[in-house]
Amino acid sequence: MIWLFGAVGASALALLGGGVLARNRITALRQRVENARGQIDVQLVRRHALVPALVETVKGALAHERAALEALVAARGEAERMLHQEIERSVVAETNLELSLGTVMAAAQTAPELRAIASLEALQEELRSSENRIAFARQHYNDTAAQLNAAIAGFPGSLVAGGAAPATFWRAP
């Protein structure tokens, strides 16, 4: 009979320990998701900082593209306002900024007077580098969010998650 109480006690202790470990893993993953989101924001701020220099460099040569330049400045402002908002809102603002950047960059490529400006080439390279860093940060965020979501949905995480909401993925609109 004593062995039965010992076995039940050991089983309860093992379940409790498993629950604590699962809860700690979920907490750690939640922190990793927040950190990964912060890394996306760091790269987005880097890209946002390049926009005024780009506008200044091309505005004289692209005076006929004034609407595109104004749209780019407006898209940057909106993206900066949405930087620390819900992911869905941030994604929409960043997508609009990417589209506006693409429009201005395409116009700059067709302007012969801009092709020889070294600072424009350097800015374009910085923007390409920023886009690559943003893509990597987004992928890392989504991978971490998937790990968290799996931990919350799996056993015993589903028992100890305490109603934790799954992480939202960073998806294009």
Domain extents for the chain? 2-160
What does the pLDDT read at residue 8? 59
For residue 119, pLDDT over 70 is answered with yes
Per the CB < 8 A criterion, the answer to whether 157 and 151 are in contact is: yes
Confidence band of 11 (pLDDT split at 50, 70, 90)? low
Question: DSSP H helical segments within the chain, as ranges?
Answer: 2-58, 66-81, 87-110, 112-115, 118-153, 157-160
User: What would the pLDDT profile of 139-149 be if each residue is shown by its tens digit?
Assistant: 999 999 999 99
pLDDT of 6 above 80: no
Closest CA to 116 of 34, 71, 68, 57: 57
pLDDT(169) > 70: yes
Torsion angle defined by CA atoms of residues 87, 92, 95 and 97, in that order, rounded to the nearest 10 degrees? -110
- Contacts of residue 55, defined as CB under 8 A and 6 or more positions apart, other chains included, come to 69, 72, 73, 104
Confidence (pLDDT) at 17: 62
More confident residue, 43 or 155: 43
Look at residue 15 and tell me whether its pLDDT is greater than 70.
no
- The fraction of the chain above a pLDDT of 70, given in percent, is 87
The model's pLDDT over 82-91, given as tens digits with 9 standing for 90+, comes to 988 889 999 9
- CB atoms < 10 A from the CB of 159, how many? 13
Instruction: Confirm whether pTM is higher than 0.75.
Output: yes
The answer to whether the beta carbons of residues 157 and 26 sit under 8 Å apart is yes
Q: Look up the CATH number of domain 2-160.
A: 1.20.1440.20
